Amino acid sequence: MSARTSLEELGRRYGTPCYVYDLDRVEAARRDLAAQLPEGTEIFYAFKANPHVDLVRALRTGPGPACKAEISSTGELAAALEAGYPPSDILYTGPGKTPGELNEAIAAGVRMFSAESLTDLEHIGEAATAHGTVADCLLRINSATASASTGIRMTGKPTQFGIDSETLASIADKVRAVPGTSVVGLHLFSQSNAKDEAALIGEFQHTLEVAVQAQHDLGVPLRLLDIGGGFAVPYGQRGERAAYPRLRAELEAALDAHFPQWRQGAPRVAVESGRYLVGDSGTLLATVSNVKVSRGRKFVILDAGINTFGGMSGLGRILPVSVTVEGRTADGETDGEAETEKASLAGPLCTPGDLLAREVEVPALAPGDVVAVPNTGAYGPTASLLMFLGRPAPTEVVVRGDEVVSVSRIEHVRTYGRVGRDE
């Protein structure tokens, strides 16, 4: 797709707010990630980043090694099955699995689960036993220590995720004896969005040290070792996906040192990634509804706010976003002699919290301009406050080259009558 003109045409054709996802970018990201990992590494796609069926299908069927699915809800299970993922390629994770969803997943053929605690493992076993089967389980480990300091920390602190590593030896007998389960490996996920390659390598090296000790504490050989992810891509800002040219060699060396048989599949090695695989495939298009000045500060009001692109608003991670329009760019960069000014980017909602950027450099904007927010393929509509104030969900357009593959919109429907949980 020839970027600016085609994007603007799509915005005019389908209306805004509108997400445009480029499947060529999705497949390029998968190839790039696979090339930076040891040969044979399995890649699980984290559906929470974007469960759009066309994107997840492309990750399974496009050129290169097929991704498997990492899910944590029955909604994501339905999306994976619709996209053609076989149940054997689905890993069900999460700290709050209910009896109802475990029953639904096992009934659908899912047999691989990440267990976050001994009681979580017992719940998985109860559901599997009720179906007359055995679930293969990875124990998620919360390491007592961490290596890297960049990105979003996931271990080394009290958390709802994983079994504290220092307690594993004391519960190993109970873990091995849970009916309906077979402990086949470990799940370690220590950080997210690590831009620094040295920090990412250091974290993976530390993860493998933790895995060796955990294998010893458990007293069972590992068949699958999921070492997590952390691969970075900008979020709502200009920039390129991170590159990790040293990662493959360094990770191979660490695996050789700690798991000498890994090249023969003992254990199989896996990583998981969400934003890296789809983040730079997406562009959010929005229209400027109004421009106003309040006590000396300019506000550009868009038809897209935290109801459309608000996945990280509660954690303060969406500020600031970048916008471009007709070749004019933000972040203090311009194409040619384009004029820029300082403004805050506000959404349409009746709350002062509906801000996508505060006092940033933007092109000179006027009502009717269609602006583009780059790198929005991850944590978009399904991670936003979609139902707040009852505004329509954004349109989602999937393209490959100049071809429009699909156009869709999430609809909200209220169901009346008896609606129960875990029925």
Q: What is the pLDDT of residues 68-125, one digit of tens each?
A: 999 999 999 999 999 999 999 999 999 989 999 999 999 999 999 999 999 999 999 9
Please tell me whether residues 261 and 403 are part of one structural domain.
Answer: no
**Is 8 a member of any domain?**
no
pLDDT interval class at 413 (50, 70, 90): confident
User: How far is it, in rounded angstroms, from Cα 267 to Cα 250?
Assistant: 18
- Boundaries of domain holding 400: 280-409
Token reading at 366: 């006027």
Please report the pLDDT score of residue 1 as a whole number. 57
Domain boundary among 226, 244, 279: 279
Q: For residue 227, which amino acid is it?
A: I
Task: Name the residue type at position 79.
Answer: A
- Beta-carbon contacts of 372 under 8 Å, excluding residues fewer than 6 positions away, are 4, 7, 8, 283, 284, 285, 323, 324, 325
CA dihedral 206, 209, 215, 218 (to 10 degrees): -70
93: in domain: yes
| Cβ(8)–Cβ(323) below 8 Å | no
CB 216, CB 191: distance < 8 Å: no
pLDDT digits (tens, 9 = 90+) for 337-373: 567 899 999 999 998 889 899 999 999 999 999 999 9
pLDDT tens, residue by residue, 249-294? 999 999 999 999 999 999 999 999 999 999 999 999 999 999 999 9
How many whole angstroms separate alpha carbon 365 and alpha carbon 343?
Answer: 10
Residue 161 has pLDDT above 80, yes or no: no
Q: Does some domain include residue 320?
A: yes
257 and 342, same domain (yes or no): no
Choose among 208, 338, 343, 311: nearest CA to 262: 208
CATH code for position 126? 3.20.20.10
> pLDDT at position 155, please?
53
Amino acid found at 92? Y
CATH value at residue 290: 2.40.37.10
Q: Which of 259, 279, 299 is the last residue of a domain?
A: 279
29 and 136 housed in the same domain: yes
Q: Which residues of 222-246 are buried (b: 16+ CB within 10 A; e: fewer)?
A: bebbbbbbbbbbbbbbbeebbebee
Residue 7 is assigned to a structural domain of this protein: no
Look at the block and give the residue holding tokens 């002062």: 352
Q: How many domains does the chain have?
A: 2
pTM of the model: 0.92
What's the CA gap between 146 and 156, in Å, rounded?
Answer: 6
Classify residue 81: in a domain, yes or no: yes
Pair 319, 356 in one domain:
yes
Please tell me whether residue 118 adopts helix, strand or coil conformation: helix
What average pLDDT score do residues 200-205 get? 94
**Claim to verify: residue 77 and residue 149 sit in the same structural domain:** yes
pLDDT > 70 in the chain, percent: 88
Q: Phi and psi dihedrals of 54, rounded to 5?
A: -70, -35
Contact between residue 95 and residue 161 where contact means Cβ atoms under 8 Å apart = yes
Residue with tokens 């060529």: 24
Based on the fold, state whether residues 319 and 372 are members of the same structural domain.
yes
pLDDT of residue 151: 44
**From 141-150, 164-173, 221-230, the region with the lowest mean pLDDT:** 141-150
- What does the alpha-carbon distance between residue 246 and residue 254 come to, in Å, rounded to a whole number? 12
> CB-side exposure of 212: number of CA atoms within 13 Å?
14
At 367, give phi and psi (nearest 5°): -50, 135
Same structural domain, 228 and 311: no
pLDDT at 332 over 70: no
d(CA 300, CA 409): 25
What is the pLDDT, as a whole number, of residue 311? 66
Please state which of the ranges 203-207, 224-228, 415-419 shows the lowest mean pLDDT. Answer: 415-419
State the pairing for strand pair 152-153/191-192: antiparallel
Shared domain for 233 and 366, answered yes or no, is no
- CA proximity to 274, closest of 17, 128, 76: 76
Residue spans of alpha helices (H) in 64-143: 74-82, 99-107, 118-130
Instruction: Map residue 128 onto helix, strand or coil.
Output: helix
Side chain identity at 288, as an amino acid letter?
V
Q: Looking at the structure, do residues 211 and 267 belong to the same domain, yes or no?
A: yes
Q: Of 264, 279, 294, which residue sits at a domain end?
A: 279
Q: Is residue 416 part of a domain?
A: no
